[in-house]
Amino acid sequence: MEQLHLNDLIIDVVLKDIKNVHLSVYPPYGRVRIAAPVRMNMDTIRIYAISKLGWIKKQQQKFLAQVRETPREYLFKEGHYFLGMRYLLKIIEHDAPAFVVLKHHTLELYIRPNTDIPKRQIIMDEWYRQELKELVPPIIEKWEKLMKVSLNEFAVKKMKTKWGTCNREAGRMWLNLELAKKPVHCIEYIIVHELAHLLEHTHNDKFITIMNNFLPEWKHLKNELNSLPVSHSNWEY
C-alpha cells in the first residue's frame, strides 16, 4: 500500500484489479483510502484526490462531530448499550465465577470482590460475544435463503475500523463485537452487506444493485448505524 500526502492529509492508496477508482472516508477520524486500477499512475491518482478534497473534508467533519462514548469504567449505574437500548450497570460482588444478567432496565454484573476494570471489561465483552453469537445465526439463515448464497462460518471479534468483513473465497464472515450494542435492524443490515460480498467482491454498481434489490432501505440503515454513539477508541461503513 502506498500513501499520498496533500498538505496535512494522508491518503492510503491501494492498487487493485478493478475498473474504476473508489474513494472512501472512514469513521471515526476520517481515514481516507483510494482503491485504484493497477494501470493508474500516482500522478493521476493525486489529481483525482485533489478534485475530491472538498468532499473528503466534509465527510471528515461529519465523523469528527459524531457522538462518542467516554471510556467505560464498569462502575455502578454506568450506562451500557445492548441491542440499541441503554441499561444501567449494577455491580454485584459474590465469591463465585463471574456472569452477566440482563434485566428490564439494568445489566447485572456478578464479579468476585476486587475485580479490576480490565477484567470487568473482559467479562462484559464475553457476554456481548455470546449474545451476538446466539442472535446472528437465524438472521444469516434467513438471508442465505433469500439471496441464494451459502456462508461456511461466521465469527465475532473486535475491529477498529469495520463493522464486518467477508472472505468470499473461504465463505467466512467476521462481525464486530461492538454490533452487540446496536439495534437488531442495523446488525441485519451489516449481515446483508457482507453476504452481498459473496455475490460481488467490490462496492461497485453491481454491489449497489444487489443491496437495492434485497434491502431497499439499506442506505437509511447505514446512516442510522453510523450516527449512533461509537466506542471512544473505535471507528466504517
- pLDDT tens by residue, 154-202: 999 998 778 999 998 899 999 999 999 999 999 999 999 999 999 998 8
What domains sit in the chain, N to C, each tagged with a CATH number?
2-64 (no CATH), 79-227 (3.30.2010.10)
Interatomic CA distance for residues 1 and 6, integer angstroms: 17
User: Model confidence over 15-60: pLDDT tens digits?
Assistant: 988 888 999 988 767 889 999 999 999 999 999 999 999 999 988 8
Can you tell me the distance from the alpha carbon of 139 to that of 59, in angstroms, rounded to the nearest whole number?
Answer: 31
Q: What is the dihedral of CA 141, 144, 145, 148, to 10 degrees?
A: -160
Q: What is the 8-class DSSP label of residue 104? A: S
Is residue 165 within 8 A of residue 194, CB to CB? The reply is yes
159 alpha carbon, distance to own chain's centre: 7
